[in-house]
Structure 1
Amino acid sequence: MSTVDAQMPGVFYRRPSPEADPYIEPGDDVRPGQTIGLIEVMKTFNEVKADKAFRVAKILLDDGEEVDVGQSMFEVDEP
């Protein structure tokens, strides 16, 4: 098992808007380039994209939670 870590500090979001479904859920298979979350920095939303294929094992942050550089956001299983 490995992790996907934040590349920038900010506020983490699991979905594009409060009424939308989350980008990913535990058990989902993710493909490279797929959006898996957002990090807001100074009112700018930055998409977090998968850099490789994996299966989501666990989501470690809640919507609106602050994240630091290098902090783990997801636990994943790689194929």
Structure 2
Amino acid sequence: MAEKRIKSPLPGIFYRRPDPDSDPYVNEGDRVNEGDVVGIVGVMKSFHEIKADASGRIVRFEVENEDPVQAGQDIAILDG
């Protein structure tokens, strides 16, 4: 199956969990559906959900929690 890439829509800091005390939204190996939140990007104290634009299994994350990201940068790889 073809890999699909979840990309950051804007530059900022990528977070895999909603807050430091919570579990990650998803982990590598988890199945997601189109529209599921896989993380958030924080920009100047505003937080924007990153949603899967296709269904599949998270093969891997391309960035670590709290890493800076650029607009269009790959966040995670899905397989169908």
TM > 0.5: yes
**TM-score, L = length of structure 1:** 0.92
**TM-score, L = length of structure 2:** 0.91
Deviation at 1:70, TM superposition (A): 1.1
Residue type of the partner of 1:7?
P
**Does residue 70 of structure 2 align to residue 68 of structure 1?**
yes
Misfit runs of 4+, over 4 Å: none
Q: Is the contact made by 2:13 and 2:68 (CA closer than 8 Å) also made in structure 1? A: yes
Structure 1: gaps of 5 or more residues? none
**Does residue 19 of structure 2 align to residue 17 of structure 1?**
yes
Residue type of the partner of 1:22?
P
Q: Is the contact made by 2:6 and 2:53 (CA closer than 8 Å) also made in structure 1? A: no
Structure 2: gaps of 5 or more residues? none
CA distance in 1, matches of 2:64, 2:4: 19
CA distance in 2, matches of 1:33, 1:46: 13
Deviation at 1:51, TM superposition (A): 1.7
Name the residue aligned to 1:5: 7
CA distance in 2, matches of 1:60, 1:52: 17
